A and B are shown apart, each in its own frame.
Chain A
Amino acid sequence: MDLFAHLATGFGVALTPDNFLYCLLGATLGTLVGVLPGIGPLTTIAMLLPLTFKMTPVASLIMLSGIYYGAHHAGSTTAIMLNTPGDPSSLVICLDGHPMARQGRAGPALCIAAFGSFFAGSFGVLLMALFSPPLAGVALRFAAPEYACLVLVALIATVVLARGRFLLNVGMSVLGLLLGTVGTDIESGTMRFTFGSPNLADGINFIIIAVGVFAFAEVISNLGRDRIGRTPAAPLRSLWPRRSDLAAAWKPILRGTVLGSALGLLPGTGPMVSSFAAYSLERQLAKDRSRFGNGAIEGVAGPEAANNAAAITHFIPMLTLGIPAGAAMALMLGAMLVQGIAPGPRMISEHPDVFWGLLASMWLGNLMLLVLNLPLVGIWIRLLTIPYRILVPAILVFCCIGVYSVNNSSFDVVLAAGFGVLGYAFSMLRCQPMPLIVGFILGPVLEQSLRRALLLSRGDLATFVMRPISLTLLIFAAGLILYAALSWYRDGRRQALPGVR
């Protein structure tokens, strides 16, 4: 078998003492830095890039990718413990992970996240080993019409499937889409809603909105509740997941892994879509939907698996096509170029040691993350025993530094404060922030794809239905709307007839 020979080469490279150590170092550094709110894989890799210049190409890639998936996974820890996402992909983890922590079930949430991400990571690596070149082609089948339709499906799913009031969810999505238009329009160069400030010329960074709407707003409402007389945090229960947790989580992990692996192959959608899609799927499949948002373990297991599977399969278009998915992958690409390795169609045959060594190290790194994270769970949950009045300044300081370091801009910190106030207002008005964030992230993809598709077809709307993938997606979107209309009609009739409920 060719594969076994390749894997043997790979593990031979990854298990040399030096490379093994770099893998461990990368995964550890990634974990430690990734838990800081607002500091995600991108900042971490950029800061540590010069350290790798003196290493061999394989060693530097092994360490950088260790940082990458380490920081990726660590983002969910912050989301669960502090309700502050470190990067877009761990945002969804806040929804059920943090309520679990508040119920004293942070231990099971963190453990399931660690198991889920290990399983998903291993699956992603296997997929990469078996099918890299054929899967790379998937990225090429998605052009502007397909991306436009895919985003449409995602947006409709958000509005239809999100909890809370339908009308307010639609409003929040549209508000998010509008926020996404801030900045320079790439097609015409027109600056929209920048009010003459160069600080807004490149739009608003996701971290600013996420920290404001989630972290700052959460701190304000917690302190407010304290004044009115908050019930103390639930005492810590068991550290380990119960048998029932595992029983509830394994299927979501499986589904999330498959979904995340698939979406990770599409570089144009960005890192958030896979975890969000997995969350929507789990919520849709659940028997009792009301548990979601109140600490459902499926809402942690599915998205975390999807997130980590996508983090691995993102490497496939990057390594085999040279097409990075997102800024962190672009930086990895830069790191490879600096080392004289050009990713692309011929990379696997030209540098087999790099490809297979990196692949083997990614599996080892994921194993290390599991071994590293399980003991850390005990330390993280001690965070909750710290009195909240001490936690507040720490959260604020780390968030401020995180927001500032995105662009080294104090303007961004002011903006985050504004979004904090806005986020608090939303929570008062019982508007869900999630549709806003989804709209914000997907809005630019939707608008640019829509306009580009129409520009390339010279204004022919048929471009969306003449292509099989985009037609399928459109039919799916129509189905979602029909489904929503039907269930709305059904609920309405049920409410109109008292006694049926």
Chain B
Amino acid sequence: MTGFLAGLAIRDTAGFVAGVLFLLVGLAAIGVSGGYPVGTLLHMGPGYFPVVLGALLVIIGVASMVRAVAVTTVTPDTAAVRIALQPLLVVGAAVLVFAGGIDRIGLIPSVFATALLACMAGPKPKLLEGGLIAAALSAMAAGIFFYGLKLPFTLF
């Protein structure tokens, strides 16, 4: 039993995960677009194309997973993968802060908050430097986009 499992070990983790991703998206696509009129090859409905694509993704996903298991050589850099969690979260948060703020609190506060947060994404964040950068970027954004290009923003 253990020998059997060892024989089935996932040797290419990245390829396997990508396969799972394709499989799930493919299944979801088939599930959702099955609700649209599908039609036939010669008279395609709005659901035809997405259903075909979903089925393709399922096939590719399964094939990738099989390949990740069946492959005999371990890709050397697979082990070195480490998720950069802090940058991921901070960059995501900075962008979301902009999205949440721009229609409510205006251009300058949104840019300031986003820039300040973005300054905290690096390894050794410095608050004062971040504040200065954020202030400078706010002024630049207002100058270029509001006064220069006259884009429809509110400043505050």
Most B CB atoms within 10 A — which of A401, A431, A455?
Answer: A401
A285 interface contact, C-beta 8 A: no
Report yes or no: B88 in contact with A454, Cβ–Cβ below 8 A.
no
| Number of B interface residues in the complex (CB < 8 A) | 68
> Which B residues are CB-close (under 8 A) to A250?
none
Most A CB atoms within 10 A — which of B54, B103, B145, B152?
Answer: B145
A-B contact pairs, 9 of them (CB 8 A): A165-B15, A190-B36, A192-B50, A225-B84, A392-B91, A396-B94, A410-B102, A413-B96, A430-B18
A429 interface contact, C-beta 8 A: yes
Report yes or no: B57 in contact with A174, Cβ–Cβ below 8 A.
yes
Known A178-B50, A393-B137, A417-B99; judge A221-B18 contact (CB<8 A): no
B83 interface contact, C-beta 8 A: yes
Q: Chain B, 1-20, contact with A by CB distance < 8 Å: what is the 0/1 string?
A: 00000000000001101110
A192 to B19, CA, bound (A): 24
> Which A residues are CB-close (under 8 A) to B81?
428
* Interface of A (DSSP majority class): helix
Interface residues of B in 76-95 (CB under 8 A from A): 81-84, 86-88, 91-92, 94-95
Report yes or no: A181 in contact with B50, Cβ–Cβ below 8 A.
yes
A170 to B147, CA, bound (A): 46
Report yes or no: A227 in contact with B87, Cβ–Cβ below 8 A.
yes
> Which residue of chain A has the shortest Cβ distance to B116 in the bound complex?
A393
Pick from B37, B60, B91, B114: contact of A167, CB below 8 A: B60
Report yes or no: A227 in contact with B123, Cβ–Cβ below 8 A.
yes
A187 to B45, CA, bound (A): 9
A398 to B53, CA, bound (A): 35
B27 interface contact, C-beta 8 A: no
Report yes or no: B99 in contact with A178, Cβ–Cβ below 8 A.
no
Report yes or no: B22 in contact with A430, Cβ–Cβ below 8 A.
no
State how many angstroms separate the Cβ of A403 from the closest Cβ of chain B: 9
Report yes or no: B119 in contact with A393, Cβ–Cβ below 8 A.
yes
A450 interface contact, C-beta 8 A: yes
A266 interface contact, C-beta 8 A: no
A376 interface contact, C-beta 8 A: no
Report yes or no: B96 in contact with A414, Cβ–Cβ below 8 A.
yes
State how many angstroms separate the Cβ of B127 from the closest Cβ of chain A: 13
State how many angstroms separate the Cβ of B28 from the closest Cβ of chain A: 9
Known A167-B60, A175-B25; judge A190-B37 contact (CB<8 A): yes
> Which B residues are CB-close (under 8 A) to A170?
56, 60
Report yes or no: A414 in contact with B99, Cβ–Cβ below 8 A.
yes
> Which A residues are CB-close (under 8 A) to B150?
47
Report yes or no: B60 in contact with A178, Cβ–Cβ below 8 A.
no
Report yes or no: A175 in contact with B22, Cβ–Cβ below 8 A.
yes
> Which A residues are CB-close (under 8 A) to B102?
400, 404, 410, 413
B21 interface contact, C-beta 8 A: yes
Pick from B18, B114, B115: contact of A168, CB below 8 A: B18
State how many angstroms separate the Cβ of A182 from the closest Cβ of chain B: 9
> Which B residues are CB-close (under 8 A) to A421?
88, 92
B69 interface contact, C-beta 8 A: no
Interface residues of A in 155-174 (CB under 8 A from B): 165, 167-168, 170-171, 174
Q: Chain A, 415-434, contact with B by CB distance < 8 Å: what is the 0/1 string?
A: 01100110011001111000
State how many angstroms separate the Cβ of B107 from the closest Cβ of chain A: 8
> Which A residues are CB-close (under 8 A) to B63?
167
> Which B residues are CB-close (under 8 A) to A393?
94, 114-116, 118-119, 130, 133-134, 137
Pick from A43, A47, A397, A405: contact of B115, CB below 8 A: A397
Report yes or no: A171 in contact with B43, Cβ–Cβ below 8 A.
no
Report yes or no: B96 in contact with A417, Cβ–Cβ below 8 A.
yes
Instruction: Please name 17 further chain A to chain B contacts, defined as beta carbons within 8 Å, in addition to the given A178-B53, A192-B32, A405-B145, sorted by A numbering.
Output: A39-B149, A168-B64, A178-B54, A178-B57, A192-B47, A216-B95, A220-B87, A221-B87, A223-B86, A224-B82, A224-B88, A389-B119, A392-B121, A397-B137, A404-B98, A410-B102, A424-B84
